[in-house]
């Protein structure tokens, strides 16, 4: 039926904190990249020995601390900088540049989804778990180094009773924590609402409604005054987010901004020559796509598969998405992409 590999409480140090226009947590693309890298080491389709692939992952944040400082109370946060730049021949005589980076330390839990169930004995399961743990310790997640991993566990459920048991096991491994839930639906609704008045910049305006901290002024007219002027007092109030919940802006994937190019057309690629696919389109220049997500406490999760991020590739779009709910319309990828169409 369904099988999941849980990597609980992974301590990551100095991971990327900046994703597209957003900062504070690594992008979903980075976790899916890790999932894919691990899959390549495990799956028979690549270098591994197991007859399965990791096709998606659920991201649970247990603890995050961004490496930032505040020059003074109420000032903007700024990223801590370190001088660990690349060393090139041209830096022999001069001091190397400082490259501005945003980093964070985090404890995250990942639930990886297996494409095909594995039939393993108890000993083989232990072997797989140990193998994955050893591999992960040699890998990076979101550019950060893995310091330790709490537990690696493989779960398998054959019927619905198993499934609820499996769910509570997985919850226990990942709590306390927050799981990231795709809320592009909200973005769509907000865009439609704004589009009634102002069609042109509606997607951007809608996204900013989720990502910007906005305040509004209500003028306080003095006695006998009917019109406001420069001197009129005002009360300032924070504007609520369009929907309830712990909503955050996220970077959700990529959109092609040019035609795909072959490896002959681009110099210096990291592609190994593969005799079998000569015509493969190796490179596509892309831009980041933004959406909206919600941090939801782990105990509210009822069906794991709803929270698994998977890649959806459709034409020029390359997006991280979660399974759309049965109630919503089925062309989720296109609705989402339409939204972001005018964003950049």
Ramachandran angles phi, psi of 68, nearest 5°: -135, 165
82 part of the interface to other proteins, by CB under 8 A = yes
In the complex with other proteins, the residue whose CB is nearer, 65 or 226, is 65
What are the residues whose beta carbons fall under 8 Å from the beta carbon of 168, sequence distance 6 or more? none
Among 47, 74, 76, 92, binds other proteins (CB under 8 A): 92
Q: Mark the segment that binds other proteins (CB under 8 A) among 137-145, 183-191, 240-248, 306-314.
A: 137-145
In the complex with other proteins, the residue whose CB is nearer, 138 or 231, is 138
287 part of the interface to other proteins, by CB under 8 A = no
- Candidates 304, 80, 261; CA nearest to 173 is 304
Peptide bond just before 127 cis, omega within 30 deg: no
Among 47, 71, 200, 224, binds other proteins (CB under 8 A): 71
Name the helix (H) or strand (E) containing 216. Answer: strand 215-220
Ramachandran angles phi, psi of 103, nearest 5°: -130, 165
In the complex with other proteins, the residue whose CB is nearer, 41 or 290, is 41
240 part of the interface to other proteins, by CB under 8 A = no
Cβ 34 to other proteins, closest distance in Å? 14
285 part of the interface to other proteins, by CB under 8 A = no
- Residue 315, sorted as left (phi over 0), alpha (psi -120 to 50) or beta, turns out to be left
Residue 223 DSSP SS3: coil
Residue 12 DSSP SS3: strand
Site of interaction with other proteins (CB under 8 A)? 13-14, 63, 65, 69, 71-72, 78, 80-84, 86-92, 95, 98, 100, 105, 133-134, 137-138, 140, 145-148, 267-273
């Amino acid at each position: 039926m369904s099988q999941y590999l849980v990597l609980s409480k992974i301590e990551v140090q100095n991971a990327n904190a900046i994703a597209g226009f957003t900062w504070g947590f690594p992008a979903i693309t980075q976790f899916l990249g890790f999932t894919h890298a691990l899959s390549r080491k495990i799956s028979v389709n690549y270098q591994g020995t197991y007859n399965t692939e990791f096709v998606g992952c659920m991201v649970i944040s247990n603890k995050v601390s961004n490496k930032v400082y505040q020059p003074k109370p109420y000032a903007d946060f700024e990223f801590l900088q370190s001088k660990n730049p690349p060393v090139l021949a041209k830096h022999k005589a001069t001091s190397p540049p400082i490259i501005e980076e945003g980093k964070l330390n985090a404890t995250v839990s990942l639930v990886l989804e297996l494409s095909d169930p594995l039939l393993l004995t108890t000993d083989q399961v232990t072997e797989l778990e140990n193998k994955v743990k050893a591999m992960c310790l040699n890998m990076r997640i979101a550019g950060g180094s893995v310091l330790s991993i709490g537990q690696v566990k493989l779960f398998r459920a054959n019927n619905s009773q198993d499934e609820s048991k499996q769910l509570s096991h997985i919850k226990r491994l990942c709590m306390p924590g927050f799981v990231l839930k795709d809320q592009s639906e909200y973005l769509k609704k907000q865009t439609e609402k704004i589009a009634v008045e102002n069609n042109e910049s509606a997607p951007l305006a809608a996204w900013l409604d989720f990502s910007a901290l906005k305040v509004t002024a209500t003028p306080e007219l003095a006695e006998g005054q009917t019109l406001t002027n420069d001197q009129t007092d005002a009360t300032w109030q924070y504007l609520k987010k369009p929907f309830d919940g712990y909503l955050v802006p996220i970077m959700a994937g990529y959109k092609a901004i040019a035609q795909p190019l072959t490896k002959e057309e681009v110099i210096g690629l990291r592609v190994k020559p593969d005799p079998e696919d000569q015509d493969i389109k190796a490179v596509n220049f892309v831009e980041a796509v933004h959406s909206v997500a919600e941090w939801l406490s782990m105990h509210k999760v009822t069906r794991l598969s709803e929270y698994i991020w998977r890649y959806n590739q459709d034409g020029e779009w390359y997006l991280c998405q979660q399974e759309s709910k049965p109630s919503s319309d089925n062309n989720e990828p296109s609705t989402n992409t339409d939204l972001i169409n005018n964003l950049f």
